[in-house]
């Protein structure tokens, strides 16, 4: 069954209202959907989560993972990883080691002619 965002989430997104608690909820729900094999629904949840809290890098990271799973090496995937790196700079919870690995992955994607 396709996931539909709550009306309250959509209103906050449209009004550009931050809601870190809702973003965390979408992170958890998206993680469950991804683990259950529904990468498309998970990607939507992570995307909405990034809108509700643009400083929560975990949603950006998972959005990039889901995008890469669905789209492979594509410009959309590259953009998702670059958005994660920007968010990770604002989120002190993101380990430096993870950021370094993602930077290397972005370099690899940029070298691929498909991206």
What are 55-110's pLDDT values in tens digits?
A: 999 999 999 999 999 999 999 999 999 999 999 999 999 999 999 999 999 999 99
Please give the residue that has the higher pLDDT: either 5 or 92. 92
| pTM (2 d.p.) | 0.85
**pLDDT one-digit tens code per residue, 18-55:** 789 889 999 999 999 999 999 999 999 999 999 999 99
Q: What is the pLDDT of residue 97?
A: 97
Among residues 30, 90, 97, 110, the alpha carbon closest in space to that of 65 is found at: 30
Domain 7-111 annotated CATH 2.160.10.10: no
Residue 1 has pLDDT above 50, yes or no: no
Q: What is the pLDDT of residue 11?
A: 60
- DSSP letter for each residue of 15-69: TT---HHHHHHHHHHHHHHHHTT-HHHHHHHHHHHHHH-TT-HHHHHHHHHHHHH
């Amino acid at each position: 069954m396709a996931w539909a965002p709550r009306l309250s989430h959509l209103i906050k997104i449209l009004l550009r209202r931050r809601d870190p608690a809702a973003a965390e909820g979408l992170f958890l729900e998206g993680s469950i959907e991804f683990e259950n094999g529904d990468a498309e629904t998970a990607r939507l949840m992570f995307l909405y989560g990034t809108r509700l809290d643009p400083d929560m890098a975990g949603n950006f990271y998972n959005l990039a993972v889901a995008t890469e799973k669905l789209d492979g090496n594509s410009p959309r995937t590259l953009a998702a990883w670059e958005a994660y790196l920007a968010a990770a700079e604002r989120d002190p919870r993101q380990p430096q080691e993870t950021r370094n690995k993602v930077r290397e992955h972005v370099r690899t994607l940029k070298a691929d002619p498909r991206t």
